[in-house]
């Protein structure tokens, strides 16, 4: 990821200003064109006016928004959850085997593991990243509770280059949209275990 130095920020800002000035000049040109059409070849001016409209639309709807996105980008991914808290909800490190599938698609369920879990979500370790917004059916194998089926939606992704995957995980975070009572009972047992050990949100196997 590029580090935005003051020089880069200024260059992008200047470019954005230049584009906005071009839009202003284009509008003035169109105004002058309309005012000068009387007594001239109207058909040619009408074609030129159409071209100018397309030019202004391109600048306004594509180029300017693209520049704004570069100058003031929104975060593409949520930060990695290290088993702590996200949005005020606790997460605990738990490696649980699971299979997940995409509802409505004839695709074989994919095997994966959780990295951490929460009452309302979890991080799924997988070299295959699903799209943000994708709904999933997740079957989680939970010790002492058996198979727990939950429904979830992908809310963020994390891609790690292959050479670094021995020390970091690729995968995606999901928000649980439906879970049976067993899931919440299991999560409470994990939370109680955490507090009884008085540790951090580290791995508890």
- pLDDT tens digit string along 88-143? 578 999 999 999 999 887 878 999 999 999 999 999 999 999 999 999 999 999 99
DSSP summary character for residue 109: P
Nearest CA among 205, 201, 180, 175 for reference residue 97 = 205
Residue 205 in any domain: the answer is no
Show the domain range for 91. 85-197
Nearest CA among 119, 131, 128 for reference residue 94 = 119
- The token duo for 148 is 């727990």
How confident is the model over 39-70, as pLDDT tens digits? 555 566 666 667 667 666 666 666 656 555 54
Threshold 0.75, pTM exceeds:
no
63 with 104, same domain: the answer is no
37 with 127, same domain: the answer is no
138 with 67, same domain: the answer is no
30 with 100, same domain: the answer is no
CB distance 143 to 177 below 8 Å: no
CB distance 113 to 125 below 8 Å: yes
- The token duo for 57 is 């639309």
Q: How far is Cα 158 from Cα 170, in angstroms, rounded to an integer? A: 5
Residue 204 in any domain: the answer is no
What CATH number did the domain enclosing 105 receive? Answer: 2.40.10.220
Residue after which a domain boundary falls, among 71, 99, 123: 71
Q: How far is Cα 205 from Cα 197, in angstroms, rounded to an integer? A: 13
CB distance 166 to 189 below 8 Å: no
- The token duo for 1 is 């990821």
92 with 171, same domain: the answer is yes
96 with 189, same domain: the answer is yes
112 with 180, same domain: the answer is yes
């Amino acid at each position: 990821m590029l580090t935005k130095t003051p020089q880069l920020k200024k260059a992008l800002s200047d470019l954005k200003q230049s584009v906005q000035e071009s839009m202003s000049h284009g509008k003035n040109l169109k105004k002058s064109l309309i005012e000068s059409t009387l007594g001239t070849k109207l058909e040619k001016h009408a074609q030129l006016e159409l071209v100018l409209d397309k030019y202004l639309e391109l600048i306004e709807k594509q180029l300017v928004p693209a520049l704004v996105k570069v100058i003031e980008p929104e975060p593409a991914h949520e930060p990695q959850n290290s088993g702590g808290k996200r949005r005020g909800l606790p997460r605990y490190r738990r490696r649980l085997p699971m299979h997940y599938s995409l509802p409505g698609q004839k695709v074989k369920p994919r095997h994966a593991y959780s990295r951490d879990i929460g009452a309302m979500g979890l991080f799924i370790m997988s070299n295959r990243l699903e799209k943000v917004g994708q709904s999933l059916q997740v079957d989680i194998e939970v010790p002492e509770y058996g198979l727990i089926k939950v429904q979830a939606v992908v809310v963020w992704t994390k891609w790690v280059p292959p050479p670094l995957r021995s020390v970091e995980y690729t995968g995606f975070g999901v928000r649980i949209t439906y879970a049976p009572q067993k899931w919440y009972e299991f999560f409470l047992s994990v939370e109680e275990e955490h507090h009884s050990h008085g540790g951090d949100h580290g791995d508890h196997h």
